[in-house]
């Protein structure tokens, strides 16, 4: 009887020990998975920062052209205004008191805010007075809106979950607006059959940015980042398809414009040369006549 009890106790001890070892192994095997997921998220986030930086810098060639021509011409301020307010609300979303552990969101969107302000200043300098006033009013409205949102969220919402929810919904809306802002330019492209005013690098960088941040949000699911960036990637694909469709016709239009300018210049040179030749003939015919008259007199 005592032998039976001792063997039962040994069996129970062995099973308990085995179960404990199994749990230890299970936990230790899941730890690297968690670490690798966090590491993967960080890597994708850094990649997203780099791509987003290229996205923010992609309009530089456009603004070089604006500076050289001294006018914004038909370029629209909508993409820069939409990107500015988008960056400001995402910077708010990534703050530790709103959504902790989102440093990579703050770094890139804070940088983007500064870059977009620089673009808008240049846009204001080279705009006509009516367009300048309209853009300035919109910028003022954006700053007032973000300031009010920040004050309300930090004073009325008292938990990270509530703050993340409120600011996340706003970010969702403005992120979609940022990606959809080139739709006005897309309408112009379809109407003119020219992609001259829809820069390729801006569309491509938007696509890569949307793809990278969608992947970032899917590793540790964040719907406020994942959904609008996925939608943005789709909008960017539409822009790239338009670019591929009207690229050749744009080249033809630019070549025809240059040719017409060359013809006008040539014609003006011909007219000037003809006037000069006519003037010389008049001077030549008037000279001998005057000499003859004076001799007769």
- In 3D space, the residue among 109, 82, 89, 114 whose CA is nearest the CA of residue 182 turns out to be 82
Residue 110 CB neighbours (<10 A):
15
Residue 42 CB partners (closer than 8 Å, separation 6+):
104
Question: What's the number of CA atoms in the CB half-sphere (13 Å) around residue 233?
Answer: 13
Question: What's the number of CA atoms in the CB half-sphere (13 Å) around residue 15?
Answer: 6
Quote the pLDDT of residue 58: 82
Distance CA 221, CA 82 (A): 25
Q: What is the pLDDT along the chain (297 residues), one digit of tens a residue?
A: 444 444 444 454 444 444 444 444 434 444 454 457 778 878 888 888 998 898 888 888 889 988 988 888 878 888 899 889 989 999 999 999 998 888 888 999 999 999 999 999 999 999 988 889 999 999 999 999 999 999 999 999 889 899 999 999 999 888 887 777 777 788 888 888 888 777 787 788 888 888 988 988 888 888 888 888 898 889 889 889 988 888 888 888 888 878 877 655 454 554 455 556 656 655 555 555 544 443 333
Task: Look up residue 143 and give its two tokens.
Answer: 């700053």
Residue 41 CB partners (closer than 8 Å, separation 6+):
216, 219, 220
CA dist list (Å): 16 to 23, 246, 297:
11, 72, 143
Residue whose token pair is 């964040």? 222
Quote the pLDDT of residue 154: 92
Quote the pLDDT of residue 265: 47
Quote the pLDDT of residue 150: 94
Quote the pLDDT of residue 114: 95
């Amino acid at each position: 009887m005592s032998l039976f009890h001792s063997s039962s106790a040994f069996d129970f001890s062995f099973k308990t020990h085995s179960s404990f070892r199994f749990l230890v192994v299970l936990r230790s095997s899941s730890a690297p998975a968690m670490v690798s997921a966090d590491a993967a998220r960080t890597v994708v986030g850094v990649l997203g920062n780099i791509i987003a930086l290229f996205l923010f810098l992609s309009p530089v060639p456009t603004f070089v052209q604006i500076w050289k021509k001294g006018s914004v011409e038909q370029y629209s301020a909508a993409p820069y205004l939409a990107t500015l307010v988008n960056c400001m609300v995402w910077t708010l979303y990534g703050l530790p008191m709103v959504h902790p552990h989102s440093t990579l969101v703050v770094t890139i969107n804070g940088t983007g805010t500064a870059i977009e302000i620089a673009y808008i200043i240049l846009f204001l300098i080279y705009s006509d007075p009516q367009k300048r006033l309209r853009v300035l009013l919109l910028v003022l409205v954006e700053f007032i809106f973000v300031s009010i949102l920040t004050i309300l969220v930090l004073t009325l919402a008292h938990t990270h979950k509530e703050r993340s929810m409120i600011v996340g919904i706003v970010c969702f809306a403005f992120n979609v607006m940022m990606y959809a802002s080139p739709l006005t330019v897309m309408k112009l492209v379809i109407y003119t059959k020219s992609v001259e005013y829809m820069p390729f690098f801006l569309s491509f960088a938007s696509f890569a940015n949307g793809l990278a941040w969608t992947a970032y949000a899917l590793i540790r699911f964040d719907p406020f980042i994942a959904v609008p960036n996925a939608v943005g990637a789709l909008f960017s694909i539409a822009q790239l398809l338009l670019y591929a469709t009207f690229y050749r016709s744009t080249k033809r239009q630019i070549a025809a414009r240059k040719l017409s300018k060359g013809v006008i210049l040539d014609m003006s040179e011909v007219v000037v040369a003809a006037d000069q030749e006519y003037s010389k003939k008049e001077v030549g015919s008037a000279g001998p006549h005057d000499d003859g008259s004076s001799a007769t007199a």
